[in-house]
Structure 1
Amino acid sequence: MKSVCVYCGSSPGNRPEYAEGARLLGRALAEGGLTLVYGGGKVGLMGIVADAVLEHGGRAVGIIPEALMQKEVGHRGLTELHVVRNMHERKQMMADRADAFVAMPGGVGTFEELFETFTWLQLGYHAKPVGLLNLAGFYDGMLGFLSHAVQEGFLKQVHADLLHVGDTPAGLLTQLAGAPRVRVDKWQEARDQT
């Protein structure tokens, strides 16, 4: 594992644990020699994690759509900053440049990125580990909902278990580094059951 894509909020959130977790994640990435790949923003948790990576001598690669760059939310002090045409190009480039994915607390955009990457893993489009940094229990409700989806027969437990969950940056990165790279084929499993 050489690079980690981090999805997180463009705001810092209301709890100090979120910003502190972003700083700790940035430091852990830099000290572990892992390149940060993220959405390129200078605001919120995005900016905090990138600044922490850079402060500790690491590499931070940002990928931001033109429209957001024009709103002056792009971080101009990164190791690399790529300005792309739209969100689809942004997400594809982030996925291509990463060896693993981490979702921190965030809003709808963070959720969408997490679930798209998680879906791609479930469908076998990639075999990169996906992790959830559950700072201050932020994702407890979502994890409960995923368990509900398993109980209701819409998500298999084997697929739910593909999501690595940790409440500390160092612990989650250790999980991701040790995770087997297994290519899942949800549709093959479905065909095998018929």
Structure 2
Amino acid sequence: MNSKKTMLIAAALLAPGALVGGVSQAQVNGVAVVDPDGAVAGSNAWKAAAGQLQTTYKATLDQAETRRQAISTELQPLVTKLQNDQKANVAQAQLQTQLQTIQSKEQAGNAELQRITAPYVRARAYAIEQIQQQLKAAIDAAAARKKASIVFGPNDVVHLDPAGDITADVTTELNRLVPSVSIAPPANWQPGQQGQAGAAPAAPAPANTKQPQGR
């Protein structure tokens, strides 16, 4: 692969976004577009992993949602009082104190939710990263099959013939390259440690939304 093509594919990986239009089996005349996030989200490995995550971490996610609702209930009266005091032209210093209290409680609540959901977020990132490790190979294979020598990310496109969208082709390649992934990260694994022992795609075994965003 020449350096120009490598740079363009790298740009596509770093600039995911939404696409419109379907995918044709026609040739794309040398230029194609791919939505990497969409390709990963559509893969069988991610769909299976997403289902496993929802089941395995159901108690964690339920706990986080219950706590989120409680935090919202706790903050609402404070927000309402601040809004009413603003309308009543209460002193600015008092309003500022109320605002700081709300912000402090909100930040503490968010930090608590992050702690609760940390195991789920880590497992989710591990599943996604295993698929992403095969993304470039999948793009290369899909581009070769569709005879595309240049591949752009969707953010670079102002007009797109459906035949030039190879996102579904990349998903097909991902299904071949990484049929399944694990949602159990190794003890010392951290996001971004691609290539680390234990971070390769798992053997076939049993992922709903795009990547990629936590709950």
State if a TM-score over 0.5 links the two structures. Answer: no
Provide the TM-score with structure 2 as the length reference: 0.23
Task: Between the two structures, name the one with larger relative contact order (CA 8 Å, sep ≥ 6).
Answer: 2
Provide the TM-score with structure 1 as the length reference: 0.25
